[in-house]
A and B are shown apart, each in its own frame.
Chain A
Amino acid sequence: MAVDIKSKVCGSRESRVGSITGYSGTLSDIKQQLSCSGCPGEKKRCFSQAAACASGCALGQASEINDIAIVHHAPAGCATIAGIKPDFDLLAGAIGRSRDHFGYVCTDMTEADTVFGSTENLREVILETYRRYKPKAIFIGASCVSGVIGEDLEGVIEELKEELPIPVGAIHCEGFKSQIWASGFDATYHAVLKYIVKPPKKKTNKVNVIGFTAGMAWNTRADIVRLLGVLDLEPTFLLAASNVEELEHISEATASITTCSTLSSYMGIGLETAYGVPFIRSLQPHGITGFEDLARQLAKVVGKEEKMEEYIRQERAIYIPQIETIAAQLKGKRAMIAMGPNLGANIARVLQEFGMVVEHLSAWHFDRQYDDGTRPKALQYLIDNSPTEINYSVNHLQNFEFMNILNRVKPDIFVSRHPDSAIWSMKIGVPGYCVYDEYNVFGYKGTLRFGKTLLDLITNRSFTENLAKHVRLPYTDWWLKQQPDAFLEK
């Protein structure tokens, strides 16, 4: 079991590693099931709310590359993803990089296309896109329509090989093929590995830092540069504000690290399998334990453990007393978490470091393993170390379920990560915090900041309570009295 970077498609998480989108139980039940049957089985829902599809994650990630063009073979509505283009201009502009060769175009599939197919137009659009933007690579973004009517994307790519001097590849992110939007990350990383990354010619002191936004918010980038600097290493941030030339050489890196293994596992494992770049399988660098685990494992790869221990000692002296002051005030506060599976398990550990009680942990989907067969480290750590039992659900972004749970648990705070989630807890008077930026809780400094923010939110409830007084939930009383898993098949 591994990543085959040459294969046509990488496939969905459901099919590759048995990931699921529906479960209701406890952490200890998951432990039990993982040790016996290998995985909690998928439970389907007979009522559902709109989740998200793989194409958003896939083409959103791909759009972060500064000098590629995306040709979305889809009806116009799918291609509204292009709206993030000006925002990535801001991101790249902040570090002085150009996006003049980036393009996002759509083939605007119509009813006639669904009947007769439109690979000929697709081909023309790709050529025209090249003429317009002179990108360093072009990715065709697949869609439900292109998938259902069976458009031969690989055939088009094959035809264009002779005509264009740049790589043309496909990102297979057809929305109906996976219920897990993270499959879209894999689809894009597969395309990057297959079409852009070149075999290594030398070893460099670069570290692939796989995340969402390259640490641009609040300049956490500087903290990462500083951490790597201790080991005489330098970051290559993926994929935000990256360019094709950088990506060609990521096979030469010393190692790959990540803030989110739900996002990055396919890329990390793919680079390791194909080119021997060590993928650091640590906890993620959120909170004290996570940060130190990553720092030490990375130091070990380059044999500079002592230098890192010195750095850790210095940083601890500054930050640990401050973190302890905050933790003393957070101790015993009750929390509910709803996030992607990996970040959620990491954040649960951080809250426990503060002495908080994690009442319920909800994961948008559940990965029992990654493509190398290993268990996600943060999940395993939680299973082995959680001081209390945690109710655990796999939620698929089902608002009606987590609102039902929140309404029962009534925690002191709800911590989430996804647009349109934390705000919902505020509607019932529970302060919510969206851990939006992946470096929010990075290292000692981030941990302190996160703890202080949680404490402030719990203390000053004005906004939340004012809002709650003036809005009502769109759910029936009947539903709020049902068990939250009532619509999960038994």
Chain B
Amino acid sequence: MRARVSRRRFLGLAGAGTALAWLVRLGYDVGPARAQVRDLKTAATTPVHSICYFCAVGCGVTVSVRDGELVCAEGDPDHPISRGRLCAKGMALHEMQRNPDRLTRVLYRAPGAAGWEERSWDWALDRIVERVKQTRDATLEYKNAAGTTVSRTEAIASLGGAILNNEECYAIVKLMRALGVLYIEHQARI
């Protein structure tokens, strides 16, 4: 969804400021002062609406995009809770996105290895599926001693989700429960 940039013209037109007056009084010629004022960095960008990644106030974030690149992330002035505001963490969202420390490759650490190796998605997904299937098949308890169907594995756990989207949380829960996972926990507990 795209939004229109709201420009609020709140400054009226009036006479020169005190500083200017003082300098003129001292014979200062303001003319040659080179007005090297840069263009507004968000000019000619497309704003996209988001919600802050950090706490659960749910502040609105306006993400300005130009040519597929993020130019700026600042508070969404229309948001009824945050009204354009963001705290120190919220204002760091852009740096987080373009951070050179970000993981951009699938990394694998073999048993006993001292470092990471880059792998492809295909390789990693297949290998993970293999490990999950192996573990599940070896540990699945289908019926308990009383004969009740329990469909569980107590050898696999899933942690996390409090910074994911709802739809991602649901997909994780759905898959994990289908696998028979009971150890499903996340940051709400801690």
| A and B co-occur in one complex | no
Task: Name B residues whose Cβ lies closer than 8 Å to a Cβ of A.
Answer: none
